[in-house]
Amino acid sequence: MYYIIYKTINIINGRYYIGKRKTPYADGGSYLGSGKALKEAIKKYGREAFRKEILHYCSSFEEMNALERQIINEDVLADALSYNMKIGGTGGRGRGFTHSKETRDKISVAGLGRIVTQEQREQKSKDMKGRVNIGLKPWNTGGTIPNHQKSIISNRLKGTIFITDGVSTKRIHPTDEMPEGWRKGRAYKSGFALGR
């Protein structure tokens, strides 16, 4: 029996999944992984869009779990290219999982100043269309926001105003400095913006 740590790579977009496997095959066989995000990607791109490489061979199940815990850490989870959803050694996140405050701060800092091109936005939009959540409905329909979350959102938006650059719209507090090239109002798909 082989105890392996493997990495499955999407050759189309470079995203990856790191996992463990107890298997009778030295190369891990045809198994690519069982992570939820990885399974959705395999369904979308097809098995031929993925390749697997063996990262480590372990001598026992316990060693394999310990090594997976070391490899799949918070940095891997925060990596936008990772399909992994939980720190190694245990399996999927499950309901009710939340990142620690420290991890949320790291994710926030990692996204600051990130430039997203129009091509990336269009690709993300295309990728998200038709995506399903737990196989029941598209990810962006049918959800309800708990009352406590509604009050948090409401409080955040109170007193804000819409501003536009003629293409994009966002909200700011009236005390915030108006960015150069922006004015009060909203942008609409036709390019027409209402201003006051």
What's 49's domain CATH number? Answer: 3.40.1440.10
Q: Which of 58, 40, 60, 42 is nearest to 50 (CA)?
A: 42
**Separation between Cα atoms, residue 22 and residue 65, nearest integer Å:** 11
Q: Is residue 133 part of a domain?
A: no
Q: Is residue 108 part of a domain?
A: no
Tell me which residue range forms the domain holding 181: 147-194
For residue 160, the model assigns a pLDDT of 86
Share of the chain above pLDDT 70, in %: 84
Domain shared by 29 and 89, yes or no: yes
For residue 90, the model assigns a pLDDT of 64
In terms of pLDDT, which residue wins out, 148 or 117? 117
Q: Is residue 126 part of a domain?
A: no
Q: Is the pLDDT of residue 91 over 90?
A: no
Amino acid in the structure at residue 169: T
Query: In this structure, are residues 1 and 51 in contact, taking their beta carbons and an 8 Å threshold?
Result: no
Domain shared by 83 and 6, yes or no: yes
Among 29, 60, 95, identify where a domain stops. Answer: 95
Domain shared by 80 and 158, yes or no: no
**Separation between Cα atoms, residue 89 and residue 172, nearest integer Å:** 43
Band (pLDDT 50/70/90 cuts) for residue 81 is very high
Q: What is the pLDDT of residues 113-122, one digit of tens each?
A: 788 889 988 8
Averaged confidence pLDDT in the chain: 81
Question: Cα 177–154–185 angle (5° rounding)?
Answer: 40
Domain shared by 74 and 159, yes or no: no
Q: Is residue 160 part of a domain?
A: yes
Among 35, 70, 95, identify where a domain stops. Answer: 95
**How many other β-carbons are positioned within 10 Å of the β-carbon of residue 86?**
14
Q: Is the dihedral of CA 88, 89, 92, 98 positive or negative?
A: negative
Domain shared by 80 and 163, yes or no: no
Query: In this structure, are residues 84 and 8 in contact, taking their beta carbons and an 8 Å threshold?
Result: no
Query: In this structure, are residues 89 and 68 in contact, taking their beta carbons and an 8 Å threshold?
Result: yes
**Highest mean pLDDT: which of 58-62, 125-129, 192-196?**
58-62
pTM exceeds 0.75, yes or no: no
Domain shared by 89 and 160, yes or no: no
Domain shared by 90 and 151, yes or no: no
- Domain count for the chain, please give it: 2
Q: Is residue 137 part of a domain?
A: no
Q: Is residue 121 part of a domain?
A: no
Domain shared by 6 and 89, yes or no: yes
**Separation between Cα atoms, residue 129 and residue 147, nearest integer Å:** 28
* Residues near 141 by beta carbon (within 8 Å), at least 6 away in sequence: none
Among 27, 62, 95, identify where a domain stops. Answer: 95
